[in-house]
Amino acid sequence: MRLNINGRDLEVSDSVGEKKLITFLREDLDLTGAKNACDIGACGACTILVDDEPVKICIKRVKDVAGHRVLTIEGMAAPDGTLHPLQQAFVDRGAIQCGFCTPGMVLVAHAFLLKQPHPTRDEIRKAIHGNLCRCTGYQQIIDAIEEAAAHYRGAPAPAQEARL
Amino acid sequence: MKAAGEKGWRNDAHAKVTGRTKYTDDLKFARLLHAAPVYCDFVHARILRVVTEEAARAPGVVRVLTAKDVPGSNRFGQIIRDYRIFADDKVRYNGDVVAMVVAETRDLAIRASALVRVEAEVLPAVLDPEEALLPGAPLVHESHGSNLVNTHRIRRGNVDEGFRRADFVVEEHFRTQSVEHAYMEPEVAVCAPRADGVIEVFGSMQHPFSTRRFVAACLGVPLSEVEVVGTPMGGGFGGKDDTAAIVCARAALAAKLLGQPVKLMYRRDWSIRESYKRHPYRVAYKMGVGSDGRITAVQCRIVADGGAYCSVTPWVTWRSTVQCCGPYVVENVHCDTLGVYTNNVVAGAMRGFGSPQMNFVVEQVVEMAAARLGITGVEFRRRNMVRQGSVTITGQTLDSHKVAMGEVLDAVLAETGYEEKLARCSHGRADGDELYGVGLAMSYRGVSLGAEGVDFCAAVINVQPDGSILLEVGIHENGQGAESAMSILAAEELGVDVGRIRYRRASTSTVPDSGTTVASRGTIMGGGAVTLAARELKRRMAEAVCGRLQCLAGAVRFEGGALLDPAGHRRVSFDEAIALMFATQHFPHVVGVFRAPKTTWDEHTGHGDAYFTWVYGCQAVELTVNKKTGRVRLLGAAAAHDVGRAVNPEMVRGQFFGGMAMATGYALHEEVRSKDGRITNPNLNTYRIPRSTDLPEMRAIIVENRDPHSPCGAKALGEPTNEILAPAIANAVFNATGRRQFSLPIKLSALPDEIAEEDCRL
């Protein structure tokens, strides 16, 4: 079956298709940005985007994303390390502490802002409510998403470059 | 890279926001084996036999380990060595681990772990801390002789006389619940044998040095044969001390015996089942108040359920004892505190460390007393709170730092318009369904370990020949931004750009044992060590260049990446000065050690200078309670804390918000529930930590009074932010509903239109 991960196509066997998606990404592709923190889809630390929709992948198999576009946190910044404006806003607004929820949080926010580039703070709260953070109280994460929203108006900033 | 002082600077932010940070589970090792712990269904039982043969024959299994395989000590503990790497004589709680399966994959290890059988004689379990203290109660540790772990006491003045002088007495009983840290990253360790025989430990822990101690003791090897390598970690909150060390010790044992790297990565349900929790408290509290509104006496009895092992219960309960009257001057105090063994899940360190429980009690009692007097809680607090030169309940005079209690209280009142909002509270009566309330709470908190431990920290500054700087500090990055704060402090002291500094994550083999990164001590202790190290480096650099600057060494200034004479006429760049030192083999390698000022404690009377300095905080919250459903909705919260000095303001704000968020969980949602000693909500779907939609907008008011005892001026913040929002919420719920809250989490059902008289206990 055919996968598209961070803009790159790759072909995998049916047996790989049966693997847990999080294991495949983390162990086979070394895309370790998606974290395993609850195993039951309750915390959002493993969130990636599939066709721009957030998906908690600890409860998914590889075959579930066959034929779809997958974006992981590793696909957000440019190859030279230049951060996506949303990532830069996370840095600037102090939205990062331990960082374990950060990849999922950035991706959920990215999906949300693609659809709603003029969000209220309450809408941002609702958009990230499925992703748990124990460090920040979400306040500065919401600040960051609010600040980054401007970059999604008009021509939205896409994930910058395909990268595996 | 962003410079110090620029918004949000963190040395690790870029790696974290791009997903490139390698946490322990992200590390790759060749020939890696995987381990899984084996639990059993017992709560209290004498182990007759652990049957491992079937599991050992299961597909992919390499070895099954039990207590018999431990070459060194199977027992450890920071205070009492009662905790087992593997349960040997008894199962003492449902999270005890009896064996560990090592297999080629994690799935195979987990599958085989179900095949280990434990033959045991079931013993009666004791699950109530008060019952555990009764004669004839089952003993959790027979050799200890009783279930009493420890006691603390304060005997000050004469409480009988104090209560006689009282105009009235407020007397109530309070209970708090068991809560889980719920760090996003569960416990994990990878241990790898090195070719020279040293075991390298990578893991998620707050205390690399005690981890090394326990691993070495478990393996029966000297400390030099274990190297704990600092690894990025996904949160700790006090919870990655004892349990994290055991997880490392088990993985290290397997790695040592098998000669291969071994990973022990915890599932969330294992983490919640096994790891220690915040202590549930029962507090009987009695406060006497005079007609002038001054507290005349406090008597209290505090019972802490420590669960199956000692962990740090004596230290946690010591802080509760020292701070049992809140930030108030009380001349007559009689406090008895008991830490108790039960067969419940172990309790240990958690953000706050014995203060959230007591503040929940005290900050409601003062409001009840105020209501009896017919004054506001704010006015009552003003009449009784500590001020410059006040004497604490343990006899410590607060005169060596700025006592900012009034300052933080005023800041919150002004920022929130509190007193105007107080007048609008519903007190159980509203036209619509939503009852409105505001509430506040305040505290003072002793900084760092205090008299509970020896308190020091070391830092190493190692300048390279080109003038770039390696910095290592004996505190640990738990996620709070410690590395960034340390780097900023070093850069400021040396007068160089922070980009020149490369923070080198310390290993236990490169930095002196500096204790554990807990007790909100990272910035004050680590920052102290960094500042002193930088000053020593400056002294040596000044000696090396004072001839060229034609001034005395003591007069050399460090600014803008250069060394200058007092008038600024002559200048040697930082790089040149370092090159000069290398040329003469005066190496710019310094160790700075900050030793905490002296503290004292008399265990018999409960008198002493308990902490070398204190911090002051106040938080307020605004909420509604729905009459029909009892649902609490938080509308806003604000906090003011004296942090001494905000080294990295965005990270300081992050501590405010994170601490307050965690406290809302404590107040309203969180509870580790159990049935017959078995936890029934062991994952994040049923153990409910606050989500973004549970929280209000929060405001952080940073108050800065540099502390003379702190070389860098900073004090403490991580725990203060987490210890007072629960009572503020309880007070706000009272002001909304007219109902006092005597237990946590606060559970409100539908409220009748008319409040029964007994609910209105003021």
pLDDT-based confidence at B758, cuts 50/70/90? Answer: very low
Residue B22 C-alpha from the chain's centroid? 24
Helix H segments across B205-290?
208-219, 242-258, 268-274
A164 falls within a domain: no
Q: Given CB atoms, is B657 within the 8 Å cutoff of chain A?
A: yes
B314: closest CA of chain A, how far (Å):
27
Give residue A159's pLDDT.
75
Q: How many CB atoms lie within 10 A of CB B395?
A: 16
Helix/strand/coil (H, E, C) string of B95-143? CCCCEEEEECCHHHHHHHHCCCEEEEEECCCCCCHHHHCCCCCCCCCHH
The model's pLDDT over B366-415, given as tens digits with 9 standing for 90+, comes to 999 999 999 999 999 999 999 999 999 999 999 999 999 999 999 999 99
The answer to whether residues B360 and B174 touch, using CB atoms and an 8 Å cutoff, is: yes
- What CATH number should be reported for the domain whose range is B281-450+603-760? 3.30.365.10
Q: How far apart are CA B518 and CA B635, in angstroms?
A: 31
A46 in the same domain as A68: yes
Model pLDDT, residue B754: 55
User: pLDDT grade, residue B90 (50/70/90)?
Assistant: very high
Residue ranges of B 254-283 with Cβ closer than 8 A to chain A: 267-268
Select the residue of A83, A98, A138 nearest B184 (Cβ to Cβ): A98
Q: Is the pLDDT of residue B677 over 60?
A: yes
Question: Is residue A162 in a domain?
Answer: no
* For residues A89-112, average pLDDT: 98
Radius of gyration of chain A (CA): 15
State the CB neighbour count (10 A cutoff) for residue B733.
25
Question: What is the average pLDDT across B129-135?
Answer: 98
Are residues B369 and B170 in contact, defined by beta-carbon separation less than 8 angstroms? yes
Q: Residues A103, A51: one domain?
A: no
Q: What is the least distance, in Å, from the CA of B181 to any CA of chain A?
A: 9
B25-123+187-265 fold: Aldehyde Oxidoreductase; domain 3 (3.90.1170)
The answer to whether residue A19 sits within a structural domain is yes
pLDDT at B759 over 70: no
Q: Which of A75, A107, A139 is the last residue of a domain?
A: A75
- Contact in structure between B530 and B490 (CB atoms under 8 Å): yes
- CA B479 vs. chain centroid, Å, equals 13
Q: Give the pLDDT band (50/70/90) at residue B517.
A: confident
Q: What is the largest CA-CA distance in chain B?
A: 85
- Tens of pLDDT, residue by residue over B321-350, are 999 999 999 999 999 999 999 999 999 999
Strand A2-5 and strand A69-71: pairing?
A: parallel
B466-488 pLDDT, tens digit per residue, is: 999 999 999 999 999 999 999 99
| Angle at the Cα of B449 from the Cα atoms of B443 and B455, rounded to 5 degrees | 145
CA distance B270 to chain A (A): 10
Buried b (16+ CB within 10 A) or exposed e, B259-281: ebbbbbbbbbbbbbbbbbbbbbb
Query: Given its phi and psi angles, is residue B354 left (phi above 0), alpha (psi -120 to 50 degrees) or beta?
Result: left
Which pLDDT belongs to residue A164? 46
Q: Would you call the peptide bond into B465 cis, given omega within 30 degrees of 0 as the criterion?
A: no
Rounded Cα distance between B660 and A6, Å, is 37
Average pLDDT along chain A: 95
Q: How far is A60 from chain B (nearest CA, A)?
A: 16
* A96 and A125 belong to one structural domain: yes
Report angle CA A141, A144, A147 to the nearest 5 degrees: 150
In a domain, A160, yes or no: no
Q: Is the pLDDT of residue B752 over 90?
A: no
Mean pLDDT within B211-240: 96
Contacts for B639 with CB less than 8 Å, ≥ 6 apart: B412, B617, B618, B619, B620, B656, B660, B698, B699, B700, B701, B721, B725
The model carries a pTM of 0.96
Give the integer Cα–Cα distance in Å for B629 and B626: 6
pLDDT at A162 over 70: no
Q: Which residue has the higher pLDDT, A155 or B689?
A: B689
Question: Which tokens belong to B371?
Answer: 């209501």
Q: DSSP letter string over B385-441?
A: B--TT-B-TTS-B--SS---HHHHHHHHHHHHTHHHHHTT--TT--SSSEEEEEEEE
Whether residues A143 and A93 share a domain: the answer is: yes
List, as ranges, residues 220-249 from B with C-beta within 8 Å of A: 232-235, 237
Model confidence at A161, pLDDT cuts 50, 70, 90, reads low
In a domain, A129, yes or no: yes
Say if A42 falls within a structural domain.
yes
What tokens does B248 get? 């490392």
Here the tokens at position B510 are: 């490169």
pLDDT at residue B8, as a whole number: 74
Shared domain check, A90 and A50:
no
Q: Which has the minimum average pLDDT: A73-77, B113-117, B512-516?
A: B512-516
Domain count, chain A: 2
Q: List the single residue in B184, B237, B651 with the smallest CB-CB distance to A43.
A: B184
Q: Chain B window 688-717: which residues touch A at a Cβ cutoff of 8 Å?
A: 689-693, 695, 697-698
The pLDDT score that the predictor gives to residue B653 is: 97
Tokens of B115: 């095949």
Average pLDDT of chain B is 96
**CB neighbourhood size of A103 (10 A):** 31
Q: Residue B159: name the closest of B291, B328, B295 by CA.
A: B295
- B484-to-B5, B37, B404, B572, B591 alpha-carbon distances in Å: 11, 36, 27, 27, 19
- By Cβ distance, the residue of B19, B267, B653 closest to A39 is B267
Residues A11 and A71 in one domain: yes
Q: Do B19 and A81 touch (CB under 8 A)?
A: no
Token pair of B75, please? 């027992």
Where do the domains of chain B lie? 25-123+187-265, 281-450+603-760, 456-595
The CATH fold assigned to B456-595 is Aldehyde Oxidoreductase; domain 4 (3.30.365)
How much is the average pLDDT of B643-647?
97
Name the residue among A40, A130, A137 with its Cβ closest to that of B683. Answer: A40
The answer to whether residue A52 sits within a structural domain is: yes
What is d(CA B747, CA B753) in angstroms, rounded to the nearest whole number? Answer: 18
User: What is d(CA B115, CA B47) in angstroms, rounded to the nearest whole number?
Assistant: 17
- Calculate mean pLDDT across residues B497-512: 92
Q: How many CB pairs under 8 A join A and B?
A: 185
Residue B225 is predicted with a pLDDT of 97
Whether residue B762 is predicted with pLDDT greater than 50 in this model: the reply is: no
Look up the domain containing A34 and give its range. Answer: 2-75
- Residue B2 pLDDT exceeds 80: no
Tell me the per-residue pLDDT of B9-35, one tens digit each, with 9 for 90 and over.
Answer: 999 999 999 999 999 999 999 999 999
Query: How many helices (H) and strands (E) would you count in chain A?
Result: 6, 5
Q: Looking at residue A160, what is its pLDDT?
A: 63
Percent of chain B predicted with pLDDT > 90: 94
Which structure tokens are listed for B453?
Answer: 């431990």
**Crossing angle for the helix pair B377-384 and B405-416, to the nearest 10 degrees:** 160
Verify that A6 and A70 share a domain, yes or no: yes
pLDDT of amino acid B1: 42
Report the CATH number at residue A33: 3.10.20.30
User: What is the Cα–Cα distance from B598 to B448, expressed in whole angstroms?
Assistant: 12
Backbone torsions φ then ψ of B190, nearest 5 degrees = -125, 125
Among the partner-chain residues A42, A87, A139, the one whose CB lies closest to the CB of B17 is A87
Is the pLDDT reported for residue B5 higher than 70? no
